Structure 1
Amino acid sequence: MTTEQRSFARRLRRRATPAEEVAWELLRNRRLDGLRFRRQVPLLGYTVDFICIERRLIVELDGVQHDNEQDYDTARTQEIERHGFTVLRFPNRQVLDDRDAVVAAIRAALRN
């Protein structure tokens, strides 16, 4: 990991979106089934929103900017999954409006 990647990840952590703040409250301090999640982590040349390394699970939150980046997001997800990770994507609106469904989906992925 380069210094530039590390600095970029720190900036993202300081400028979290409201949806990222909500998700972090759900995942931080081993609150979800005792598993450790980290946020804004450089991985394979990308910065992933949330990662549980122990279960090789990545949680990505998509704001409106992702509507125009679907091809990029698909390629990025495929590359990360080729390295043995599972990637879950949630729209920001879902995280803000239906936390229970988001947590249920993450738990289901963790069981698989």
Structure 2
Amino acid sequence: MPDFSARNTDRAKELRNSATPPEKRLWLHLRNRNQAGHKFSRQMPIGPYFCDFLCRASKLVIEVDGQGHDQTFAHDTRRTVFLQNAGYQVIRFSNLQIMNELEDVLKTIELALAGRPTPNPSRKREGRMETARQQRENV
């Protein structure tokens, strides 16, 4: 029988409830499959680490680095190496990038997703799915 290790859902809930303003701002653009149909989750555990945002289907992790990032650089490096060894691509943004350069952040995420496996939408949603390019043209 495979080993089962329970996820620390209480800690994940705490982290979601105490999201920083930049995390909240980015989440508005990642939630509800807003990034070309890719589903993201917040504060998801992978091994001993919690990922700020995770797209499981594309194996993409987005980390938001706050002001204390310089003090946690070694920890962040270990986390990135762990996630990459598990097959995830990790991209990082600073709080300032999210607050001041959101369009560039979203474009970087879009480009990262373009190189990853595509989500598999249900037949019910296929008619409503638009590419990011089509969405921009409609705005």
TM-score of the two chains, using structure 2 as the length reference: 0.77
How many matched pairs?
111
Larger radius of gyration: 2
2:6 to 2, 7, 13: 2
Question: What root-mean-square deviation, in Å, do the aligned CA atoms of Structure 1 and Structure 2 show?
Answer: 1.0
Structure 2 partner of 1:77: 80
- Alpha-carbon distance in structure 2 between the residues aligned to 1:65 and 1:87: 19
User: Partner of 1:69: helix, strand, or coil?
Assistant: helix
Percent sequence identity is: 37
2:33 to 8, 12, 30: 30
Are residues 1:18 and 2:24 paired?
no
Alignment of 1:53-64 (within 5 A): 53-64=56-67
Q: Which is richer in helix? A: 1
Q: Which is richer in strand? A: 1
Are residues 1:110 and 2:137 paired?
no
Structure 1 partner of 2:130: none
Gaps of 5+ in 2: 116-139
Amino acid at match of 1:75: R
Q: Give the drift of 1:6.
A: 1.1
Structure 2 partner of 1:67: 70
What whole-Å deviation, never above 9, does each CA across 1:14-60 have from its counterpart, x for those lacking one? 11100000010010000110110000111111110000001000000
